Structure 1
Amino acid sequence: MRQGEGGLRERKKLQTRAALTEAALRLALEKGPENVTVEEIAEAADVSVRTFFNYFPHKEYAILGRNPAHLEAALELIATAPAEQSPLTTMWLIVHDVLRDLLSEGSLTRRGELIMTSPSLLYHLMLSSIDDERQLSAAMTERIGDPLRARLIVTAAGTACRVAVELHKTTPDSVPGELVDQAFQLLAQGIDPDYQKGHS
């Protein structure tokens, strides 16, 4: 392969994925997620149905904008994090990378509102989130050697991001990144310092 061909191929893949997710979201907003077909999404993105399935296992993942590169990058960040970097800091970096990509697409609010109206999209989002958290927790466990702490950190980080995005939808003047920062600060400080085990 000539130098530069690999980069060109990757750019074309990114463009195709972006075209499919944009077409899927636009059609789902117009017709409702349940009424959109894979064939319609592929046609709108000017690709074949076979090409669609090279990127997504079903239409819900296209509408959700699922990008496996996010998970791959997150796993790489965990594996290569400096020894002195706290696990929660690593998760903060991961969340901000994903959030930046979502905001750059300009579809965060539209997609979020659509998901909340569709049981099917909510179900697939839950399944994909559980699988992501499982893989991230395994990687974090390998790094810090404490499976309970690793799983709590990963799950809490994901929850902090979801809560921040949901709050942003109800308060449009808020900044998603700042809400995430505030949520992580609460996690770092302890969300309930007065907690006492077994206290009634």
Structure 2
Amino acid sequence: MTTSDLGILGEPPAGRRERKKQETRAALEQAALRLFAEKGYEQTTVDEIAAEADVAVRTFFRYFSSKQHVLFGDVGHQRINHLCTALAAAPTGTPPLEAVRAVLDALDLDRDEQEQLNQRLRLLKEQPALVGMYLMLNHQLRQTLVDFVAHRTGLPSTDPYPLLVAGAAVTSWDVALHVWLAGENSRSMAELRRAAFAALTAGIPAEPPFPPAGEEPA
């Protein structure tokens, strides 16, 4: 057996370590969701989540910064990171509205992500006190999009155009989630979101129609 079989200094190989991390993270998320459903979010402690997952409390904080973080996990928080990365990579010559549309299409949730989100949204319906966290994530998504459109157009983030494009994007996401969760529509979440975004942006031009701040329209 070689050192590559054992890993550096006797540690397991990198692939096995990564699988173990993913398993531990998933165990913590599932333990947290079970306890939130059974006891309530406010009544559940980090110590109880760690015990339910059969790990130490310090292990919990290696993966999550707080109970709020574990509530939406990677499917929520990493979505913002992925959005930032994709927007930064959008071709500079593309009109901002089309760039946002393309990025949203590329980041539509896969089946596994949809199921993870399904669990969390059902928990929100049962415990309205958790809605604040969902609204905070939506706010972060909206601000990320506002900053991108403002930067690409040279407009302040308080101008109407960045706010309209970002608002349409986040609202289309929110509408698609709620319609899909109700289970009364045969279309996929991606189809619902794309249709909602198309409807909401039908009257928004590809380039800003508003004059720069301080200037009067012609």
- TM-score in terms of structure 2 length: 0.70
- The verdict on how the C-alpha distance between 1:93 and 1:52 changes in structure 2, with shifts beyond 3 A counting, is farther
* 1:49 Cα offset (Å): 1.6
Of 113, 116, 124, the residue aligned with 2:122 is 113
More helix by share: 1
* 1:167 Cα offset (Å): 1.0
* Unaligned segments of structure 1, at least 5 residues: 192-200
Aligned to 2:56: 48
Aligned to 1:180: 193
* 1:163 Cα offset (Å): 0.8
Between 1:87-96 and 1:126-135, the stretch displaced more is: 87-96
* 1:51 Cα offset (Å): 2.6
Q: Distance in 2 between matches of 1:8 and 1:93?
A: 35
Checking the alignment, whether the CA contact within 8 Å between 1:78 and 1:143 is kept in structure 2 is no
> What amino acid sits opposite 2:128 in the alignment?
P
* 1:15 Cα offset (Å): 4.1
Of 177, 183, 202, the residue aligned with 1:165 is 177
- Say which one has the larger Rg: 2
Q: Percent identity?
A: 35
Residue pairs, 1:120-159, within 5 angstroms? 120-146=129-155, 147=157, 148=159, 149-159=161-171
Checking the alignment, whether the CA contact within 8 Å between 2:141 and 2:170 is kept in structure 1 is no
* 1:11 Cα offset (Å): 5.5
Q: Distance in 2 between matches of 1:21 and 1:51?
A: 13
Q: Distance in 2 between matches of 1:78 and 1:32?
A: 37
Q: Distance in 2 between matches of 1:158 and 1:53?
A: 30
* 1:8 Cα offset (Å): 6.7
* 1:18 Cα offset (Å): 2.9
SS at 1:33 equivalent: coil
Aligned to 1:196: none
Of 21, 34, 37, the residue aligned with 1:29 is 37
Between 1:54-63 and 1:84-93, the stretch displaced more is: 84-93
Q: Distance in 1 between matches of 2:29 and 2:80?
A: 17
Q: Distance in 1 between matches of 2:69 and 2:24?
A: 15
> What amino acid sits opposite 1:178 in the alignment?
E
Checking the alignment, whether the CA contact within 8 Å between 2:90 and 2:99 is kept in structure 1 is yes
- The verdict on how the C-alpha distance between 1:110 and 1:87 changes in structure 2, with shifts beyond 3 A counting, is same
SS at 1:51 equivalent: helix
> What amino acid sits opposite 2:170 in the alignment?
G
Q: Distance in 2 between matches of 1:75 and 1:7?
A: 27
SS at 2:42 equivalent: helix
What is the aligned residue count?
A: 188
Checking the alignment, whether the CA contact within 8 Å between 1:78 and 1:140 is kept in structure 2 is no
* 1:181 Cα offset (Å): 1.2
Q: Distance in 1 between matches of 2:33 and 2:57?
A: 17
Of 32, 47, 61, the residue aligned with 1:39 is 47
